[in-house]
Structure 1
């Protein structure tokens, strides 16, 4: 049987894709290529991190206040710094930072109204 080996991309619509990609490049340092997309090499992810593929129930409130039927999560090296940066860039913070054994999480709405979860994995060792 053929198997999925990982997430090959996250694709979504935007009213102004280049402006949104530029916003992410400016405020979160995404390695945007040609103004159209960002590529993350697996080797650049912190040890112990992973990419999660998960379906939520149709009536979940986890993506609120966004009206979208999706949410994406970005790994960051400094959650507090990243949240300050996106706020400076005009993003609306959503909820309080939460900490778990596997890392800390914070959320914001980007300029298109997408809810984004930022994850700073727990330090190993």
Structure 2
């Protein structure tokens, strides 16, 4: 049986792709390879970094206040500093920072209305 080896990208629609890509470059430091896209180098990942794939119930409120059916999650080094940075750029913080045993989390709504989760990973033991 063939298996998926990882996430190959995040692709989504928005009203002004160039403007939103430039905002992500300026306020989240995502390097762009073109006007509307960039790449993450897996060789730059740290030992606790991982990509999580997860389904949610159709009636979840976890993505609120965004009305989108999906949410981004980005690994960062400092949630408070990143939140301050994106808020300076016009984002809105969504909720308070939460500290869990497997990492710290913070959220914001980007200028296009997408909810973004920031994550500082800690040691993680997946459920068996």
TM-score by length of 1: 0.94
Structure 1 residue 116, shift from structure 2 partner: 0.3
User: Which residue number in structure 1 is paired with residue 65 of structure 2?
Assistant: 65
For residue 23 of structure 1, give the secondary structure of its aligned residue in structure 2. Answer: helix
Report matched runs for 1:1-125 at 5 Å.
1-122=1-122
* Structure 1: gaps of 5 or more residues: none
Deviation per residue, 1:60-100 (Å, 9 max, x gap): 00000000000010111111110000000010000000011
TM-score by length of 2: 0.92
* Structure 2: gaps of 5 or more residues: 124-128
